Each structure stands twice: as C-alpha cells, then as structure tokens.
Structure 1
Amino acid sequence: MSAGRRLVVEADGGSRGNPGPAGYGALVRDAGSGEVLAERAGSIGTATNNVAEYEGLLAGLRAAADVDPGADVEVRMDSKLVVEQMSGRWKVKHPSMRPLAAEASGLASRFGRVRFVWVPRARNGHADRLANEAMDAAAAGRTWEPSIPQSPDPVPHQAPTTNRLSGWMAPPAPPTTTVLLRHGQTPMSVEKRFSGNVEAALTDTGLHQVAAAADRLRDEPFDAVISSPLKRARQTADALGRDYLIDEDLREADFGVWEGLTFAEVRERFPDELNAWLADPAVPPPGGESLLGTVARVTAARNRILARYPAGRVLIVSHVTPIKALTQLALAAEPAVLYRLHLDLVSITTVDWYSDGPAVLRGFNDTHHVAHLVTAGE
C-alpha cells in the first residue's frame, strides 16, 4: 500500500453503569470507497464512558497502523470530550484519562496526518454496535469476533436516515420502541422546586393524572415496563397496573445543594454557579451531577434496554432530564438542546430506535390524556 493513503477511523466506547461493565469498538474504512478494512472491539472490565471511548480511539489507531502506517487518517467519534482533547482545544484534566490521551497522541504522531472530527451519534452507529457486541459477549462469557462486511456501505460514513424519516422506504428491521412517560404532580413540582433525588410523593392531582395516563395506555402492548427508582416514578408505574422493573440509571439528575430550592432561591444564593450551569451542560450544580453526566448514565440504560428488547416495545417511567436526554440522543442533537425542550407532567414521548443506529422521534410531550385536568401542566 502506498504512503499517503487516506483512511477513516470510527471509534466509540460505552459503560453500562458509568462506571460499570465497559467495552469499546472501532473500525477502519478506506476514505475513498467506504470499504471496511478492519474491525476491533473488546471488553475492558469496569470503567467509565470516557475511558471506554479512549480505548476505542486507541484500538482504531492501532488498526489503522496495521492497514497502512503511512496513511493520512481522519478519526470520527461522537465523544466531544475526546475529540476536543485530542485536537488540543481542551485540557485533559482527569488522571485516569491522561495516560490514554498520551498514548493516543503517540500513536497519532506516527501517521502522515491525523484529523479528529466530532460526528453525531447517529453517524457512529457501526462503532457503537461493535462496542455493545463486545460488552454483550463479555457478559455471556464469550470472546468478541469481528465480521467484516463484503462490500462497502451504500452511503459511506452516513447513517441511512433520510429515506426512513421521509417514509419513502421500509426500515431494514423493526425498531425497539420506547414510550417515555413522565411522572405525575408532586408538591415540589407545584412549587417549581429542584427535586432531583428528593423523595416526593404524588399529590391528589398527581394521582388523577397518572390514572388518566393509565387509562390511555391500558390497551397498549408492552414487552416491559421499566421505572426510575424514585418514589414519584414508582407511584406512577404502580398506577399502570402492570409488573415493572427498576433501573437506577433512569432517576432524575442530582441537583446537589440546590435540591428543594426554587429557581429564584438558587438565583439569589448561587448566581455564578447557576449561570455556569445554564451555559454549559458539562458543569454540575454544587455537589450535584452535570447534564452530560445524566445523559451518560441514561445512555447506558438505553443501551441495556435496546440489547434486551430488540424490536420490542418498552414503557419507561422517568423524569424531565432523563426523557430530555433520550430525546437528544434520538435527534442526534447537540447537548445544548437539553435547555430548549419542555416536558409537562405525565407527558408521553415516543422514540423508535433502529438496530443500525438511527432513531425516529414519533411523538413529544403529548398530554391530551390529561387535557381535562386544569393542573396538568403544573
């Protein structure tokens, strides 16, 4: 192979728990034809999402070196953090990632040229699939085996979403459908207080709301109902009259010292911290969890659900931030969209997740089942 060949590395990593059982996936394509030349994936035991993403990058760079050590390489990842750090725009602050970043820089220096590019998650579906295959194999006590396609993708480097969204052609396989139900009213929601991990019970109005939601969903078939562990979500799930599972990663964001305070109280007591939180989803409230942290663990929950219920229909009972996170993932949108979505109590949001990566938002913030209740939006 001649020096100067152009290669594309697609890499990803994930953690089911963050930290939790983790794995990575990477592949190398010919930049011209889109042909997949190499696949790599593996389990790395217990680790965070960011560490797993770096391991995916390392695997991809090593695979590219095996294909052509003199190539020009474009690395595509949906991890903004890894891309910005490897591009030199962000500092590598976490001790566990510094040696990984240093090793990746060393590998990158051996190529003709390396460029790091952020892509939406929907365009990184192949690497994400490899990472999940590796984690599934490890959980089953097996070793992951590669399966190289015999022909290049029909549209290199892009998930085939356009025709699906337009309804022009059928999807390759039935999706997993998640119906996302927000819990009912609590005293904290009436007073508009931060109530991430506060164990608030439903009000009488909240009980009427969830009864109306249960009526609407009564005849809908579901392969599973999965709830946040928090009391208000469990009460909502109880009202549905079905057996349900608990997933800890579906709980609301932890708002730290702001828990129980109104927005006005936080603005008065923590003006600088609130401004920083509103400006950057990577910034947590004091003692709490950033929006990106919530997205990371909700992503882990989603991955488990999709792996367990392929082509299934799952009802998820959760909270504002986790449902917004799943909506952001479905839209392959920037994290800033989390600030621009509004969700009412007991609203229903529906997402189809396809096995080849893309997702379709079928409905968002639907509350017609509680339109007769004056306080439905409180």
Structure 2
Amino acid sequence: MNATATRFLYLARHGEATADEDAGELTANGRRQAELLGDRLRDVPLAAIHHGPLPRAAQTARLIGDRLKEVPVRAAEAAGDYVPYVPGRAELPADAADRLLAFLAPVTPDERERGAALARAAQERFTGPVAGDEVRHELVVTHAFLIGWLVRAALDAPPWRWLGLNHGNAALTVLRYTPGRPSAVLFFNDMAHLPAELRWTGFPPELRG
C-alpha cells in the first residue's frame, strides 16, 4: 500500500489592489498586508508558495516569499481568478436565488466552462493527503472565489455554497487533509497578523467586522 501523509493547505487572498480588474497591482496597504502575512508564516515549514497569474496575486506571493527562507514561488493558472461554479435556480435557497443569480448573470458560457475546469484542476493539485510519509505545508495566494470553493469542498457543502464565503485581503485560511479522516477547516479569514487599519479591506462594507 502506498503511504500518504497530511497536507496543510494555507489559503490567502492577495493584498489590497488598485481597481483595474486584470492589471491591478498592490496598493501601499496591500504591500504591507503581504509583508505582515509573510512575517506570520515565517515559522511554517512551507514547501512552496503557489499563486495565480494576475499581478496582484503574483506580487503578494513574492512579498511573502521575501520574508521566508528559500521557499519556491510558483505561478499556477488553477490559482487564478475565476467563477468556479454557476448553480441553477433550483439549487439555491428561494429567498436568496434572485440576488445570487443576478450576481452571476454576467458570467458567459465560456467563462463557466473554463472556471469549472480550473476549479477541478485546483482541487486535484492542491487538496487531499499527499503521497509519501512527510507532512506537507503549502500556501496558495489566490482570490476570494477559489478560497470559497475550496472551503466549501472541505466541508462537503453543496457546490453553490462557495457563494457568500467572503475573504479579506491577506487574510489566512488553513485546511487540513489527513489520511483516513474528513478534511477540516482549521480557521477561516483570520486577520490576526494585520493591525486594525489593514483589516477587512476587500470585504463588502455591510459585512465588515
């Protein structure tokens, strides 16, 4: 029998960025958020930092990597910004369906297909126990939608339930995948490493703590 070991998956949304959806780069606040997250992770034995292809994710990953010791930083398309799943009305709670479907209405058929394929690739690449007998710690610097999707999957929640799982800039979520045990969410959207003035950026104003 092939041995498998526990994977700890650290998920972080990129730091605060300028408004340009595709070319947006980190603001001064975003750079500081990334540096503070790197400081928090300094004692974690990370095997790698993966990041999405957009500038705000790549810059965040590099700034985190600069605070660590010789951790490889790697781009991954599956860690990018995309809609992982578009539900039908029948899947959704009746009182929320109109709002959620309006939010997803701009997503084109091609974007739906590509997003679903990338979401599958992200789960295959980043989740589950790892081969061998050594525990692995990995960080994925990504976007709010993928974090919601992976947290949903870790909890075996319905596919639509990635919706509404918001994530602050440079906040930290940790998932654990242990052989023979259900996957676990150890913590979600943790901002303890950020001072008060750098918390809750990127979050809907009505939901900020």
TM-score by length of 2: 0.74
CA distance in 2, matches of 1:220, 1:340: 29
CA distance in 1, matches of 2:103, 2:160: 7
Q: Where does residue 363 of structure 1 map in the other structure?
A: 187
CA distance in 2, matches of 1:337, 1:307: 20
Gaps of 5+ in 2: 84-96, 202-209
Match status 1:245 vs 2:74: yes
Q: CA RMSD in A?
A: 3.1
Q: How far 1:224 sits from its partner (Å)?
A: 1.5
C-alpha contact 2:9 2:126 (8 A) present in aligned 1:
no
Q: Where does residue 205 of structure 1 map in the other structure?
A: 29
C-alpha contact 1:225 1:315 (8 A) present in aligned 2:
yes
Identify which of structures 1 and 2 has the higher relative contact order when contacts are C-alpha pairs closer than 8 Å and 6+ apart. 2
Closer, same or farther in 2 for the Cα pair 1:289/1:243, shift >3 Å? same
Q: Which amino acid aligns with 2:197?
A: V
Closer, same or farther in 2 for the Cα pair 1:359/1:375, shift >3 Å? same
CA distance in 1, matches of 2:35, 2:45: 18
Q: How far 1:336 sits from its partner (Å)?
A: 2.8
C-alpha contact 1:223 1:309 (8 A) present in aligned 2:
no
Identical-pair percentage: 26
Number of equivalent positions: 180
Q: Which amino acid aligns with 1:302?
A: Q
TM-score by length of 1: 0.43
Q: How far 1:216 sits from its partner (Å)?
A: 0.6
> What secondary structure does 1:187 align onto?
coil
Residues 337-346 or 276-285, more deviating: 276-285
Structure 1 segments, 4+ long, off by >4 Å, are 280-284, 306-309
Match status 1:175 vs 2:6: yes
Q: How far 1:222 sits from its partner (Å)?
A: 0.9
Gaps of 5+ in 1: 1-146, 148-171, 255-274
CA distance in 2, matches of 1:289, 1:296: 10
Q: Deviations over 1:52-78 (max 9, x none)?
A: xxxxxxxxxxxxxxxxxxxxxxxxxxx
CA distance in 2, matches of 1:280, 1:334: 19
C-alpha contact 1:294 1:321 (8 A) present in aligned 2:
no
Q: How far 1:365 sits from its partner (Å)?
A: 0.4
Q: How does 1:107-256 map to 2 (within 5 A)?
A: 174-188=5-19, 195=21, 198-240=22-64, 241=66, 242-253=71-82
CA distance in 2, matches of 1:315, 1:362: 14
Q: How far 1:230 sits from its partner (Å)?
A: 1.0
Q: Which amino acid aligns with 2:15?
A: G
Bigger Rg, structure 1 or 2: 1
Match status 1:314 vs 2:138: yes
CA distance in 1, matches of 2:24, 2:55: 7
CA distance in 2, matches of 1:337, 1:308: 23
